[in-house]
Amino acid sequence: MQPDTVLITGGGHTRFGAHSQRDQVTGDRSDSYPLEQMLADATEEALMEAGLEASAIDSVFVGSCSPGAFAQQELLGPLVLQQQPGLRFKAVHQSTAACASSSMALHAAADALQSGRIRTALVLGIEKMTLLSTPAVTEILGRCSYWPEESARDITFPGLFARLGDSYRQRHGISTERYREMLATVAAMNYRRGIHNPLAQFGPGSLPQTAGLLSAQAILDLPQEKNPVIAAPLHLHDCSPISDGAVALVLVRADSGLKDATSVALRGRAISTDYLPLSRRPALHKLEGAYDSASRAYRESGITQADLDLVEVHDCFTSNQLLCIEALGLSDEGCAGEDYLAGEYGEDARCQINLSGGLKSKGHPVGATGASMHYFAYRQLIGRPVGTAHPGNPELAAVLNIGGSGVVNCTTVLQAV
């Protein structure tokens, strides 16, 4: 192992979900899990797992999409000092890159560690979304699209991903009915994984709510009022939920003397940024930026997709899970849906996909999502899985986290050490 190898040595993760209540009479919303407490809980858990005091952290890297709009706290990073005074006077960096905000924070921390400028870093991802109504959340998220051509014309993120998905369907000659079956199969698989994840929004306590969603046919048989079209071809159960949550990860250099027996190495990583407007992209049937970041991460790590034991992919919509699987090279172009229908990604698959339940079932507090994906891959690789466990002894994992409509594409290859 090279001295500048970056290791994850600890993690903390709040439960994702709606940590607020809405008064049925007035419509007012109250906060049941404040932003500061979520940050504090995730940080304390991560430091404890890493066996470090807060004072041992050299720099903090925070990812959050739009905390000012969602929770009226634009300068968010320094809040971590409130209950961890050992972090006072440390550098705190704040990243925003839509749904890839905390992956960008993690990559920035890894860059700083590899440069030798710091030896230890705390990476945080957080978002508090459910204090607002669904229309308000939709409007705020729309600011992460290309405003003049997209959100200003009332094209929402479901609409943008629906356009990508339908371009994929048409490109590969998939019928509307067959495509719906593919997407329902993806949704059901994620629900089946999520109900075993105690940190998931649709986790064990939600079984009565998700009991009828554990098979593709059950989802397809839902009446229109229980699975309405959000943006054709996407239905309600093709969309990830609005969520609150926070995640913390402790990163160290391999030569810091702080490595322990349950560390995971960042073996390869890459970020690829594509055009913001969909109108500028020549191929809407594929995530070209994700293909680029995956290929560069594989090249840096010296592996191919055939070496992977598990992946966490960005299924903000079920259609995007298919696109991500193909961007990672796990399925040939146009084949991911058929591979799902054929059972290629079932419980006994060699490369397991979204054992956490994915964004669809685990939840999607946008600023926390990237850190969460890394957290669940890390836990699988150290042999302490949360929720559904890999059936073997996984050694290599990949995370593909996406910000915007396939704009910011972050791929990380992780290896057990």
For residue 279, what are its two tokens? 């109108």
Q: Is 110 left (phi over 0), alpha (psi -120 to 50) or beta?
A: alpha
Pairing status of strand 234-235 against strand 229-231 = antiparallel
Burial profile 114-148: b = 16 or more Cβ within 10 angstroms, e = fewer:
beeebbbbbbbbbbbbbbbeeeebbebbbebbbee
pTM (2 d.p.): 0.97
For the segment 146-205, what is each residue's pLDDT rounded down to a tens digit? 999 999 999 999 999 999 999 999 999 999 999 999 999 999 999 999 999 999 999 998
| 386, 372 Cβ separation under 8 angstroms | no
Does a cis peptide bond (omega within 30 degrees of 0) precede residue 34? Answer: no
Give the residue extent of every domain in the chain. 6-134+242-256
pLDDT bin (cut points 50, 70, 90) of residue 208 is: low
Residue 27 has pLDDT above 80, yes or no: no
The two tokens of residue 153 are 């014309």
| Domain 6-134+242-256 sits in CATH 3.40.47.10 | yes
Q: What percent of the chain has pLDDT over 70?
A: 99
- Rounded CA gap, 392 and 387, in Å? 15
Six-digit token string for 231? 């943006």
Q: Angle, to 10 degrees, between the axis of helix 318-327 and the axis of helix 288-301?
A: 40
Residue range 47-92, pLDDT digits in tens? 999 999 999 999 999 999 999 999 999 999 999 999 999 999 999 9
Around Cβ 350, how many Cβ atoms within 10 Å?
14
**DSSP SS3 for 399:** strand
When mean pLDDT is compared across 251-265, 295-309, 354-368, the lowest value belongs to 251-265
The per-residue pLDDT for 20 is 94
pLDDT in tens, 38-47: 999 999 999 9
Plot region of 140 (φ>0 → left; ψ -120 to 50 → alpha; else → beta): alpha
pLDDT in tens, 230-276: 999 999 999 999 999 999 999 999 999 887 778 999 999 999 999 99
Q: Give exposure, 30-64, as e/b (b: 16+ Cβ within 10 Å).
A: eeebebbbbbbbbbebbbebbebebebbbbbbbbb
Q: Looking at residues 16-43, what average pLDDT do you find?
A: 92
Half-sphere exposure of 157 (CA within 13 A, CB side): 29
